[in-house]
Amino acid sequence: MYSYLKTLISPSDELNVFSAFKPMYITRSVFGLMPYSLKFPKSQEGAIIIHKSIYFNSLCSVSIILLLYSCCFLHVQHVITATETNTFTEVLMTKANYLIELFGFLVFSTVTYFCAFKNRFTNVKILNAIVSSSNKLFYHNQDSLREIHVQVKIVIGCLCLLLMAQLTVNFTRHETMWSITLVTLTFILPQMIQFATISFFYVLILMVVGILKNINGQLINIVKTRKIYVSRVKKVEIKTVDFRLIETVFDKVLEIKREINKAFQASILATAIQCFHSLISETYIIYHGVSIDSSFTVHDFFNCFTWIGYQLLKIYTISRTGILLKAQVNIHFHESTVVR
């Protein structure tokens, strides 16, 4: 485990899209969200699908789904037969919200694994399209690739911190080990799958934004070059990409973004519904515990409060992708208008 984290944190010798994507690829593979294993060639022409890997990867995915469904059934049974000393299931409304939240994660997991297998070729196509587009522009500016590398490692680090935070809060509860285990497998595991899915979506958008930044950088260089020539102060040679190539790559990037939206729209919709209900449910649990339930502890309050924070983090991350894209697209249209 330590050696794996060390390889993620240490700087990579090869600065390319594949080396930036690899930590996210490994993370998704751990959760069984990569139906095909991929081979990343040194030529950087595109990821190669290992078709025989689908059998083992499918077995991993099915095993996780069966584990989630089995633990969900056991958890429902445990909640129904729980005694009144359990602060989470003391009244009917609290128990109903708790079970709906449980089923919400189960629905999300089912949708996510279904989409992962349905879009197994689309995800590889998106990655290869990003590689193809970046190869035409990133050799002009390695800083963008370096920035993406750092951002991906920060995302992986955040995932590790989120896992440790959830496990710490869960295992310090005054509950039986069976109850703690059920919460781990029916709440924390699906939520980590959710975080991994959102992180994958976020990383793909970061790569698209990186390409757009390079496109806008080339447009700015063209504008600067023209200004220098017009002013006739000094003739300076500046390396720029042909304007037609820039427009071609920009159109391709927009197509990549549409493909990403299609591949993730079901998972994002399920996430939005789950987050909305969890925010209401956890807020109600806090209200009920503070105003009515005398056995509601500080730990229970902190657990609910952090759970609300997780939902807000998911919503913020998804919305952040739209903000980043909108900013770069606005810059592009402004600079391309100046060039024309």
Q: What is the mean pLDDT of the chain?
A: 83
Residue 38 in contact with residue 29, Cβ under 8 Å?
A: no
Instruction: Tell whether the model's pLDDT for residue 174 goes beyond 60.
Output: yes
pLDDT in tens, 245-274: 777 888 888 899 999 999 999 999 999 999
Q: What are phi and psi of 217, to 5 degrees?
A: -65, -40
Q: Domain range for residue 274? A: 2-339
CA distance 320 to 205: 10
Instruction: Tell whether the model's pLDDT for residue 197 goes beyond 70.
Output: yes
CA distance 230 to 232: 5
pTM over 0.75: yes
pLDDT in tens, 202-217: 999 999 998 888 887 7
pLDDT band at residue 295 using 50, 70 and 90 as cut-offs: confident
Instruction: Tell whether the model's pLDDT for residue 236 goes beyond 50.
Output: no
CA distance 84 to 148: 51
Residue 223 in contact with residue 272, Cβ under 8 Å?
A: no
The predicted structure's pLDDT at residue 2: 47
How many CB atoms are closer than 10 A to CB 147? 16
With 0-12 CB in 10 A as exposed, 13-18 as middle and 19+ as buried, what is 301?
middle
Render 172-200 in DSSP notation, one character per residue: TSSS-HHHHHHHIIIIIHHHHHHHHHHHH
Number of folded domains that form the chain:
1
